[in-house]
Structure 1
Amino acid sequence: MDLLLILTYTAICIAIFKIFRIPLNKWTVPTAILGGVFIVGALILLMNYNHPYTPFAKEYFVSVPINPAVRGVVTSVEVKPNVPVKEGDVLFRIDPTPFRAVVKQKQAALLSAEQEVPQLEATWQSSVANVDRATADRDRTKSAYARYAKGKIKGGPNSPFTELELDDKRQLYLASEAQLTMSLAEELKSRLAFLSNIDGVNTKVAEIQGQLDKALFDLKMTVVRAPSDGMVTQMALRPGIVAVPMPLRSLMSFIPDEERYFAGAFWQNSLLRLKEGDEAEVILDAAPGQVFTGKVARVLPAMAEGELQSTGALISSQHLMQRGRVIVLIELDDNAIRNNFPAGVAGQAAVYTHYFSHVAIMRKVLLRMQGWLNYLFH
């Protein structure tokens, strides 16, 4: 663009020399050259400093890699490439047969588990009855043993109860005590099994219900739908391909129908004047002679050239030699670029600040001249 300004000045000088028939001598030619150096140099400095320009600008968009959540054979592809779709529209389907089988298995297991809950309750009630019976038996044998022991002590050598009978009663009492302990343990076990709940649901039932929910989710994921409004482009997916849920190998790229920004890479010293909300203009290589207006939406707060990550490797000094440019996002006023050109078109951009606004006219003229050159060059 600076070359355009120099050529314009040269053309004006030639026209003045021709129209006014100024002679070419040692005074007029150096004067025109030196005047051009000062005038053009001052204009270029003022223009580049206060109204920055970049030849590196491009529209950026985000694509969504479509990866299946389950593994299976693709049975049908229902989306057409480069045709807009709505959120929730079917993109492709995976064979649901194995997932339906798993759902049936889990449904049967859930029904069986739900039927086991009354059985657990009955087992618990039975163990409670066993505890009551063991308690009564323990009390009976304990009373008999106490009566024999008391009679043995009271009768002395003349007691009608022999040592053998007393020992039998004691052994019966100890056996009933052990039986009561075992019944209590069984009652505790059956009670814990019956009362083991999560949010009021038996744990086994809840576990199988979770497995059924997972199986139903997997079955639902056999139908892959559009995550938002948008379209699929450059699609190579065909029926018969085995879909694998691998994030590094997507089956198709989905372009959401969302707001896009035009990004330009400006010199770092442009930050002295660039501010959010400044007027901006964009020209495209694909649209010679057209100028698209907008404003600065955002000056990105970080530059990739200064990024460091913990990798265990030393940083080369060459990394410090990469100066980099500041990325500025430009929000265009209308959807002319979005509606008439493919996503990702490249061009050039200029930003006009409120400093030396009269110089901005020259920048606008030069930008349009550069746009006209796109008829010839690319």
Structure 2
Amino acid sequence: MAALLLLGYAAIFVVIFKLLRVPVTRWTITTAAIGGVVLVGGLLLAMNYNHPYTTEARLYFYTTPIVPEVKGRVVEVPVKPNAALKKGDVLFKIDPQPYQFVVTQKEAALAEAEQGVKQLQTSLDQAGAAAAKAQAQVDLAQETYDRQVQLLERKVVAQATVDTASRNLEAANQSLVGAQAAEARARLAATSEIGGVNTTVARLAADLRDARYDLAQTTVTAPTDGYVTQLFLRPGMMAASSPAMIFIHQGDRMFAAAFPQTVVQRLRPGQEAEIAFDAIPGRVFVGKLQTLVDAVSQGQLQASPALLNPEDRGKTPGLALAAIEIDEDLSPYQLPAGATAQVAVYSDHLAPVAVIRRILLRMNSWLNYVR
């Protein structure tokens, strides 16, 4: 900007010297030089503060590192670099056989557990029948003992006969306790449920769902509409926990410009902005300042074993980032993601000086033809 102003000022004085036939002397040259320093310096001060300009502007885009959720050997990479993709299109496939084996194993275990539930119900029925039989034996032994006691009182039988009936009754009671305990164990095993489903069946069903999920993840698909660039993945490579490729989202971009902190007081949301992309020479686009990010990256603090060193941070004061909304449609232009640009923002202060800023921005845009 300063070079263009100086060149313009020099051209004006050359014309003045030629047309008005001003003699070229030490005094006239000194006057012209001092006037140029004062005039150009004043214009630069007024423009740079009231109508900020920056070359640190870029069209940012969003990317997603594609990291497979399962590891294995890549068997297919149908995606092509820089080819448009729809959400759900296949990016690459991992060998599914190891995961299919696990699914088959879990399916067999689940089927066995479901069959086991039926067996548990059968065991419960058997234990219940055994307990009922033991109860009947206790009742019979009790009746025999009572009858023998009555006969002993009438002196029809001997004491040994009553003792035998008593031992039979005790044995029957013990058998009943064992049968009831077995029935209780069978009932607990048969009625152990969570959400109305046998606990073993529920656990194995969850394992099967997890195995099927892992199997499905062997096919990696596009998260949104977009494309993959700089594709290096090939069949036979191992896909693990590191990114296999970078996916660029379509149409999800943000244009932002970084300004020196000295002009932050003149930046306000809604102000007019003009943008000259390096990739589109001779064209200036109109936009408006949307937001001013209320943070500078050089000032951030993170947990670290080292103490804060103000000297290191003072070497790079940092730039203030401003998001700019471009009013015009950029789709007719072949503008690569990450394209750089020059940006000027116009405030309400010293509005006449903004005309010079507009002229200089357009001159810089035309210079892009020869850069």
Alignment TM-score, normalising by the size of structure 2: 0.88
Mapped partners of 2:250, 2:177: distance in 1:
71
Mapped partners of 2:360, 2:22: distance in 1:
28
Cα deviation, residue 359, structure 1: 2.2
- Structure 1 residues 182 and 94: CA distance shift in structure 2, 3 A: same
Q: Secondary structure at the match of 1:55?
A: strand
Deviation readout 1:243-262 (Å, 9 max, x if unpaired): 22x0xx21111111032112
Work out whether residues 148 and 157 of structure 2, in 8 Å CA contact, stay in contact via their aligned partners in 1: no
Partner letter of residue 346 of structure 2? Y
Q: Does 1:187 align with 2:180?
A: no
Equivalent of 1:357, from 351, 359, 362? 351
Work out whether residues 84 and 225 of structure 2, in 8 Å CA contact, stay in contact via their aligned partners in 1: yes
Equivalent of 1:332, from 326, 337, 342? 326
Q: Secondary structure at the match of 1:70?
A: coil
Structure 2 unmatched ranges of 5 or more: none
Partner letter of residue 225 of structure 2? D
Q: CA RMSD in A?
A: 2.7
Mapped partners of 1:318, 1:145: distance in 2:
103
Work out whether residues 290 and 325 of structure 2, in 8 Å CA contact, stay in contact via their aligned partners in 1: yes
Mapped partners of 1:340, 1:124: distance in 2:
76
Partner letter of residue 8 of structure 1? G
Deviation readout 1:36-62 (Å, 9 max, x if unpaired): 444333322222222111121122212
Mapped partners of 1:18, 1:135: distance in 2:
133
Cα deviation, residue 288, structure 1: 2.5
Identity %: 43
Instruction: Tell me the residue number matched to 2:77.
Output: 77
Q: Secondary structure at the match of 2:62?
A: coil
Instruction: Tell me the residue number matched to 2:312.
Output: 319
Work out whether residues 117 and 198 of structure 2, in 8 Å CA contact, stay in contact via their aligned partners in 1: yes
- Structure 1 residues 275 and 183: CA distance shift in structure 2, 3 A: farther
Mapped partners of 2:181, 2:265: distance in 1:
81
Work out whether residues 305 and 319 of structure 1, in 8 Å CA contact, stay in contact via their aligned partners in 2: no
Cα deviation, residue 234, structure 1: 0.8
Mapped partners of 2:324, 2:39: distance in 1:
31
Instruction: Tell me the residue number matched to 1:274.
Output: 267
Instruction: Tell me the residue number matched to 2:237.
Output: 241
Q: Which stretch shows the higher mean deviation, 65-74 or 29-38?
A: 29-38
Partner letter of residue 23 of structure 1? P
Instruction: Tell me the residue number matched to 1:58.
Output: 58
Work out whether residues 148 and 161 of structure 1, in 8 Å CA contact, stay in contact via their aligned partners in 2: no
Instruction: Tell me the residue number matched to 1:374.
Output: 368
Mapped partners of 2:164, 2:236: distance in 1:
81
Mapped partners of 1:238, 1:311: distance in 2:
39
Mapped partners of 1:373, 1:274: distance in 2:
27
Alignment TM-score, normalising by the size of structure 1: 0.87
Work out whether residues 54 and 265 of structure 1, in 8 Å CA contact, stay in contact via their aligned partners in 2: yes
Q: Which stretch shows the higher mean deviation, 106-115 or 20-29?
A: 20-29
Cα deviation, residue 229, structure 1: 0.7
Partner letter of residue 326 of structure 1? A
Structure 1 unmatched ranges of 5 or more: none
Mapped partners of 1:364, 1:113: distance in 2:
79
Cα deviation, residue 231, structure 1: 0.7
